[in-house]
Structure 1
Amino acid sequence: MKDSSTAASGAGFTVTDQRGKKITFDGPVQRIATAIIPSPSMIAAVDGSYDHIVGINESTLTANKQGIFGTLFPKSKKTTTIAGADFIPNVETIVGLKPDVVIQWGDMGDDVIAPLENAGFKVIGLTYGTQAMMETWIKIFGQLLGKEERSTELLDWMHSEDKAVRALVKPYAKKKQKVLYLRTAADGWTTATGSDYVTHWTTIAGGVNVASDISADAPQVSVEQILAWDPEVILLSAFDDATPADIYADKKLADVRAVRDRRVYKVPLGGYRWDPPCCESPLMWRWVAQILHPELASRNGLRTRIKDTFDRLYGYAISAAQTDEVLRMDMNAKSASYAGFRA
């Protein structure tokens, strides 16, 4: 791996993507199109700007318009979309954008990658699911942008936060609370299994994912299954419009412990949604730790952490009102102990 000064000088370099394919560049890229939903916020964090992003996924555009990222980088609310939920690239649109590189899933088959490579684009294939995979993204983005020192700095910070959060929840190790993650589907809900990043942040925060042993990817979840699991905490995906109020109003779920105890919470939306791996993931670890252990509020200092993190990642001074929006204070206000996030 070239160091950042070498890359910045215009020297050529080679990136090995998560397919194991080597892609050579003459120098740092100037124009990036990416079909991968969380990647623009991560690229911006590594780059310190949004200047090199020319194409994004439709879901990313929605998040940019709904959350604070569009305030941080107004151009992100108008960026051309190059793919939708199926990740099939719109090659004609991408040709018009003239990207130096296209970032795409490397494990979803030829339908999403072959059209791009056949059109002559340099394609970086990424894979998803673990902290290690996400850290590789940050390293690759550092290479592409000539910002390798910056990517190393971000990874060192993540590793420090990992240790800090695990230490924070260690006194509660003997009692791991049962956590259920729910995402709205056309005919009910889906959840996240042991291979999903949800399990990673649940574990760091001192909980256990009740669906960790299911083998299917994003399995459907019935009311009967939720009742059988009887989770102590339910976390609602940031990818849809479901709210804690919706769950509390559902009479079929009235006997679930999390519902009885008013421990249903909507996942925050910061520079990006906090459920999947992203540069703000250390904030998600701390948020879940405090959800599971409200007594940690004064030691966790999440609002200060959010302020410091937005400055670190985006060079932005987030306000108290914006922090409320990120944490969805209004939406989560009637859930147990959520007032602790005002401290």
Structure 2
Amino acid sequence: MASSTRRARRRTWSLPPRRWIAAGVIGALALTAGCSTRDAQTETASGTTGALSIVDQRGETVTLDGPADKVAFTVMPAPSIFAAVDRSYDRIVGINQSTLVANRGGMFATMFPESTESAVVAGNDFMPNVETLLELDPDIVVQWGDRGADVTAPIESAGFPVAGLEYGTQDDLEAWITLFAQIAGKPGRGQELVDWQRAEQAEMRADVAAGNVPRPRAMILSRTGDTYSTTSAKGYDGFQFDLVGAELVTKGFTSESGQVSPEQILAWNPEVIMLSGFDQSTPADIYADPRLAGISAVQNKRVYKTPLGGYRWQVPSAESPLMWQWMHRILYPGARDGALRDDMRAAFDNLFAYEISEDEIDQVLRFDMNSDAANYDQFRR
């Protein structure tokens, strides 16, 4: 494939002081005093302009002749993470169908209107649409690296480099951020974001340990029609719920489909239910189901729809530290200082170069569904 001309594009930015970033981490970051608009573009010492050799999560070396100008993603939520690394949607030319649905349903469309018209290069099965890729001519395609040659070979046969990903752990998330920063020619930016994630984890663990109280029983729940499904502790939710101080009631639960009966949910008797952002379920749906009337979370109105920001917060993303803060405050009302809105404003500026409004914060936090839930007033403006 003929290589396209590439240039390193670095947006100046600054990471404002936050109470949840340790002083040592702040001292370690190479910060630049910058602006919060996408219009200012400067090249910094942490950017790269020459040929790149990138090792993906398969252990394969991918070589580019410079930072990529055009990147296609068959996987999600990779585009939102890449946009956070780049503080821009400029380089993203193709996405997964599910990503397009999420883009059109949340804040991403407001921050990056062009994302609602992105070409679709794969569906739910992640099989690449090679014809569309040939039309888009990306410099690199981001694809799963642990699902066999069926999903990668067609891309490579068409002449496109592939960056293979793995999924499911916090380490994987940090590897994505690092890899995407390399693809964009911005390794310093990637390290800054990883440092932020790690600093927030450290403070969260310290807060939970200092609390020294019984952990609330909690779970993620999905509903399609009359059928319920959930997640096990083996996935990312096991990490998240432990981090924020919850007892994940699904520990030990195994099911290929994830389906769970109302009787099993009753037996678990969660005190807090967080509803998946991947379906249309609402707290009102859960309260209206007579099969779940005896559950503590239902009786005490502690059922919450998970936020939808740049992407669905419940899965590993550039916004994961905000999800951890939201979860911790749901579990422990009054914990920390109640300043999630301030943290969101700072994070959306840093991640997406976007000044989020008060109404938009309400939208992300799903006040349309959660306003009547117990203790949700702590998030009001």
**Map of 2:13 onto structure 1:** none
Match of 1:265 among 288, 293, 304: 304
| Residues 314 and 170 of structure 1: CA distance in aligned 2, closer, same or farther (over 3 Å) | same
The CA deviation at 1:186 is 6.5
**Map of 2:260 onto structure 1:** 221
- Please give the secondary structure, in 1, of the residue aligned with 2:335: helix
Aligned-partner residue type, residue 220 of structure 1: Q
Which protein is richer in helix relative to its size? Answer: 1
Q: Percent identity at matched positions? A: 47
| Residues 56 and 66 of structure 1: CA distance in aligned 2, closer, same or farther (over 3 Å) | same
> What is the alpha-carbon distance in structure 2 between the residues aligned to residue 213 and residue 19 of structure 1?
29
The CA deviation at 1:286 is 0.3
Q: Give runs of aligned pairs for residues 314-333 of structure 1, distance below 5 A.
A: 314-333=352-371
Q: Does 1:23 align with 2:62?
A: yes
Q: Does 1:14 align with 2:53?
A: yes
- Calculate the TM-score normalised by the size of structure 2: 0.85
> What is the alpha-carbon distance in structure 1 between the residues aligned to residue 229 and residue 61 of structure 2?
36
What CA deviation, in whole Å up to 9, does each residue of 1:233-268 have, x standing for no partner?
Answer: 111011111000000000010011111111100000
- Structure 1 stretch 111-120 or stretch 268-277: which is displaced more? 111-120
> What is the alpha-carbon distance in structure 2 between the residues aligned to residue 217 and residue 200 of structure 1?
20
Match of 1:130 among 169, 186, 209: 169
> What is the alpha-carbon distance in structure 1 between the residues aligned to residue 376 and residue 136 of structure 2?
44
The CA deviation at 1:191 is 1.1
Indicate conservation of the 8 Å contact 2:232/2:254, yes or no.
Answer: yes
The CA deviation at 1:86 is 1.4
- Please give the secondary structure, in 1, of the residue aligned with 2:125: coil
Aligned-partner residue type, residue 144 of structure 1: I
What CA deviation, in whole Å up to 9, does each residue of 1:39-71 have, x standing for no partner?
Answer: 111111111211000000111111111111111
The CA deviation at 1:223 is 0.8
Indicate conservation of the 8 Å contact 2:275/2:281, yes or no.
Answer: yes
> What is the alpha-carbon distance in structure 2 between the residues aligned to residue 198 and residue 276 of structure 1?
8
The CA deviation at 1:184 is 2.9
What CA deviation, in whole Å up to 9, does each residue of 1:257-315 have, x standing for no partner?
Answer: 11111110000000111011001000000000000001226x14101000010011111
**Map of 1:52 onto structure 2:** 91
> What is the alpha-carbon distance in structure 2 between the residues aligned to residue 220 and residue 20 of structure 1?
34
What CA deviation, in whole Å up to 9, does each residue of 1:188-233 have, x standing for no partner?
Answer: 1221112211122211110021112224455211111101111111
**Map of 1:311 onto structure 2:** 349
Q: RMSD across aligned C-alpha pairs, in angstroms? A: 1.7
Tell me the number of residue pairs that the alignment of Structure 1 and Structure 2 aligns: 339
Indicate conservation of the 8 Å contact 2:224/2:281, yes or no.
Answer: no
- Please give the secondary structure, in 1, of the residue aligned with 2:67: coil
Match of 1:139 among 178, 184, 188: 178
**Map of 2:249 onto structure 1:** 210
- Please give the secondary structure, in 2, of the residue aligned with 1:111: helix
Unpaired runs of 5+ residues, structure 2, are: 1-42
Q: Which runs of 4+ in 1 moved over 4 A?
A: 4-9
What CA deviation, in whole Å up to 9, does each residue of 1:163-189 have, x standing for no partner?
Answer: 222223333344111111112347612
> What is the alpha-carbon distance in structure 2 between the residues aligned to residue 173 and residue 112 of structure 1?
47
> What is the alpha-carbon distance in structure 2 between the residues aligned to residue 26 and residue 332 of structure 1?
49
Indicate conservation of the 8 Å contact 1:192/1:212, yes or no.
Answer: no
> What is the alpha-carbon distance in structure 1 between the residues aligned to residue 159 and residue 205 of structure 2?
46
> What is the alpha-carbon distance in structure 1 between the residues aligned to residue 117 and residue 209 of structure 2?
44
Q: Does 1:110 align with 2:140?
A: no
Q: Does 1:341 align with 2:340?
A: no
**Map of 2:11 onto structure 1:** none
What CA deviation, in whole Å up to 9, does each residue of 1:76-125 have, x standing for no partner?
Answer: 11101111111111111111110111101111222221221222211111
- Please give the secondary structure, in 2, of the residue aligned with 1:294: coil
Indicate conservation of the 8 Å contact 2:68/2:184, yes or no.
Answer: yes
Q: Give runs of aligned pairs for residues 79-118 of structure 1, distance below 5 A.
A: 79-118=118-157
Match of 1:244 among 271, 283, 297: 283
The CA deviation at 1:335 is 1.2
